[in-house]
Amino acid sequence: MYCVFCRSEDLPAQWAYRGLKQRGLAPLEIFTPEALVYNRRLEHRFQAGETITRIELADGRVLDSDRVRGVLNRINFLPVEHFNVAGLDDRAYAVQEQQAIFLSWMYALPGEVINRPGARGLCGDHRSAAEWVWLATQAGLPVLPFHQSDEQPLEFTPTNPTFQLVVFDSEVYGASAHWCQADLRNSIGRLAELSRLRLIGLDFSISSAGEPLVMSATTLPDLRLGGEILLDALIAVFA
């Protein structure tokens, strides 16, 4: 089976789910973080060199790692409200342990997992704005001037037009991709490699001189910006 892990209000993920289904990816199911967390039974086992996971959901479905062939992963946060009945210290511990378990079984899933969890995030390693800007400079990308201090909150309110490009397996997708000359595309590809993420949204601001400058990046790009061509690229990986 193929899975889309996403929140129910994640419209780009819902769009991708419909597009992948129309292209014949089957069986394909959506699993929300609530459905996965509020399960009836979870078994995550390390034995004889292999890792297996079996989750029986409240709605009767079973997520069995032996049957998973691919995942489009858009889960970055897990529900924690059910821990509110506990004291502060116990609550904090329970939240951390829940995160730890989910990081482990999601990371262990077989097949193509886009994006596979990292130690710093369930949807791939989370990075701060400073880290993304620094990584972009390492990749040779022009960046928006970045400044951070303890005296004022970090804010991004660019007055110039902005746009997002979707980057999947180091390739650029999106209507604004026409901004990307060959050098820029190559640098974007380098950024994707440096980040070790297969799917990112790269946010640009356009300078007064018309130059696209990297502002930040996200592991949850608006997939719709990538259009049908992006869906074709996803199906090529999964199928």
* Chain residues in the site for another protein (CB under 8 A): 39, 41-49, 51, 96, 99-101, 103-105, 107-108, 117-120, 125, 128-131, 133-134, 137-138, 143, 145-154
Smallest gap from residue 42 Cβ to another protein (A): 5
User: What tokens were used for 198?
Assistant: 């297969």
Nearer to another protein among residue 43 and residue 232 (C-beta): 43
Q: Pairing mode, if any, of strands 2-5 and 70-73?
A: parallel
Distance CA(151)–CA(177), nearest Å, equals 37
Closest approach, Cβ 46 to another protein, in A, equals 4
Q: Cβ distance 113 to 73 under 8 Å?
A: yes
Q: Which is nearer to another protein, 154 or 175 (by Cβ)?
A: 154
Measuring CA to CA, which residue among 125, 107, 219, 205 is closest to residue 168?
219
Q: How far is the CB of 57 from another protein (least distance, A)?
A: 13
- Residue 121 corresponds to which tokens in the numbers above? 């995030």
Least CB distance to another protein at residue 94 (A) = 12
Residue 53 sits at φ, ψ, to 5 deg, of: -135, 140
18 vs 45 by CB, closer to another protein: 45
Query: Which residue, 98 or 170, is less far from another protein as judged by CB?
Result: 98
Q: Are 59 and 35 in contact (CB under 8 A)?
A: yes
Element of type H or E holding 162: strand 162-168
Look at residue 191 and give its three-state secondary structure.
helix
Reading the block at residue 145, the tokens are 């001037």
Compute the least distance from the CB of residue 239 to another protein, in Å: 27
Find how far residue 157's CA is from the centre of its chain. Answer: 23
What SS3 state is found at 124? strand
Task: Compute the chain's Rg from CA coordinates.
Answer: 19
Q: Looking at beta carbons only, is 146 or 238 nearer to another protein?
A: 146
Toward another protein, which CB reaches closer, 137 or 162?
Answer: 137
What is the closest distance, in whole angstroms, from the C-beta atom of residue 47 to another protein in the complex? 5
